[in-house]
């Protein structure tokens, strides 16, 4: 078994897309609780 050298790196590399619920970029919350805050999802999809 490999040793853990960096807990942060281990968490980042073991996560998958389904683990993401919130996204922040440059201090702005783009998505929270799996809902887009900055785009009209209905307009994009249809």
d(CA 40, CA 42): 6
Among residues 13, 11, 31, 35, which one has the least CA distance to residue 22?
A: 31
Long-range pairs for 37-42: beta carbons < 8 A, 24 or more residues apart: none
Instruction: Report the predicted TM-score, pTM, of the whole model to 2 decimal places.
Output: 0.54
What secondary structure does DSSP assign to 16-34, as a single string? -GGG---EEETTEEEEETT
Statement: residue 41 has pLDDT above 80: no
Distance of CA 46 to the CA centre of its chain: 24
Mean pLDDT for 9-29 is 88
Mean pLDDT for 16-31 is 90
Mean pLDDT for 11-32 is 88
Query: How high is the pLDDT of residue 2?
Result: 64
């Amino acid at each position: 078994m490999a040793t853990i050298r960096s807990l942060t790196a281990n968490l980042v590399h073991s996560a998958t897309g389904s683990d993401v619920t919130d996204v922040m970029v440059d201090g702005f919350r783009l998505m929270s609780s799996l809902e887009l805050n900055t785009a009209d999802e209905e307009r994009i999809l249809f």
